Amino acid sequence: MRLLHQRKRELLIVQMEGELDHHSADTVRKELDHLLEDPTIIHLLLNFKKLQFMDSSGIGVIIGRFKTISQRGGKIGIIEVNNQIQKILEVSGLLKIVNIYDSLQDALDNMLGVK
Amino acid sequence: MKAKNEVRIEFLSKSQNEAFARVAVAAFAAQMDPTLEEIADIKTAVSEAVTNAIIHGYEDSEGVVRINARLYDDKIVIEVIDNGKGIEDVELARQPLYTSKPELERSGMGFTVMETFMDEVEVTSSVGKGTCVRLTKRFKKANGEMGRG
């Protein structure tokens, strides 16, 4: 599992490459928390284009980071979601607290525009 | 009903084996010519069941997880079996958002995901002896046009 990250103002974009399951969840959690130590990050945008698989372990990881982000008044967005992951996100109820955007531009407009 | 094919897989309860287990079962199911969605559903459900065996059955101690997968004309039946601590209250464990280990940042959605992605999920468990999760997935295509196998 590999994480690539990029900043756009107060938004952190993280691209995940690989498979997010119980095995990789610990590494992903630690890396994200390390990145989020920067207090100038308000919003988190996850790019799932190269995420080939996710199970409910990924839901736990996202909910955990949501706590940090919402304390800062921020939002979590996700882009490039495949059908399998979309189903997991729907079933888990995660879409009540996290938005899926159609494109990077759409996410940037919504997440940086509103604030 | 007699299975037309069967595999048995055994592996140590290490989290590294979660990916192996779901890919192995998906590869076995592939001979039924399933849709991509059916393959993804099977991988996801197996991943959930195996993860449960490792985290909850064995609580991260070393044990053996067994998978028996059987193919029938129109479906696959997958049993994920551990000889771990067992589940005291299966009904409670199956509730959405329930987790016995909140400190691990688990979502408590494992069984809900299995139930959504598979046609049937049966759980038999005995405290101190272990747990068997039986997952059944029916293939849509198999009902119309039978493959030769």
| All structural domains of chain A | 2-103 (3.30.750.24)
Q: Do B54 and A22 touch (CB under 8 A)?
A: yes
The question of ipTM being above 0.85 is answered as: yes
Q: Percent of chain A beyond pLDDT 90?
A: 97
Q: Do B51 and A21 touch (CB under 8 A)?
A: yes
The fourth-level CATH superfamily of domain B5-141 is Histidine kinase-like ATPase, C-terminal domain (3.30.565.10)
The alpha carbon of residue B57 is apart from the nearest alpha carbon of chain A, in Å, by 14
- The predicted pLDDT at position B107 comes to 85
Average pLDDT over residues A33-54: 97
pLDDT in tens, chain B (149 residues): 889 999 999 999 999 999 999 999 999 999 999 999 999 999 999 999 999 999 999 997 899 999 999 999 999 999 999 999 999 999 999 998 888 888 788 888 999 999 999 999 999 999 999 999 999 999 998 766 554 44
Which of A55, A64, A91 has the CB atom closest to B105's CB atom?
A64
Q: Is A96 on the interface with B (CB under 8 A)?
A: no
pTM over 0.90: yes
- Taking the CA of residue B28 as centre, how many other CA atoms within 13 Å lie in the half-sphere pointing to its CB? 25
- Residues of B annotated as catalytic (active site), given as ranges: 48, 52, 106
- The predicted pLDDT at position B143 comes to 66
- The predicted pLDDT at position B125 comes to 97
| SS3 call for A93 | coil
The alpha carbon of residue A52 is apart from the nearest alpha carbon of chain B, in Å, by 10
Q: Where are the domains of chain B?
A: 5-141
Mean pLDDT of chain A: 95
- The residue written with tokens 């979502």 in the block is B107
The alpha carbon of residue B56 is apart from the nearest alpha carbon of chain A, in Å, by 12
Q: Percent of chain A beyond pLDDT 70?
A: 98
Distances (CA, A) of B125 to A28, B5, B26, B55, B134: 32, 26, 25, 15, 11
Q: Which of residues 53-82 of A touch B (CB under 8 A)?
A: 53, 55-57, 59-61, 63-64
Q: Do A57 and B109 touch (CB under 8 A)?
A: no
CA-based nearest residue to B22, from B2, B1, B51: B51
- The predicted pLDDT at position B149 comes to 43
Reply yes or no on whether the pLDDT at A21 is more than 60.
yes
Q: Is B9 on the interface with A (CB under 8 A)?
A: no
Which of B19, B47, B109 has the CB atom closest to A59's CB atom?
B109
Q: Do A23 and B107 touch (CB under 8 A)?
A: no
Report which secondary-structure segment, H or E, holds A18: strand A11-20
- The predicted pLDDT at position A115 comes to 44
**A2-13 per-position pLDDT tens digit:** 999 999 999 999
- The predicted pLDDT at position A4 comes to 98
Alpha helical stretches, state H, B53-120: 90-94, 110-117
Q: Is A51 on the interface with B (CB under 8 A)?
A: no
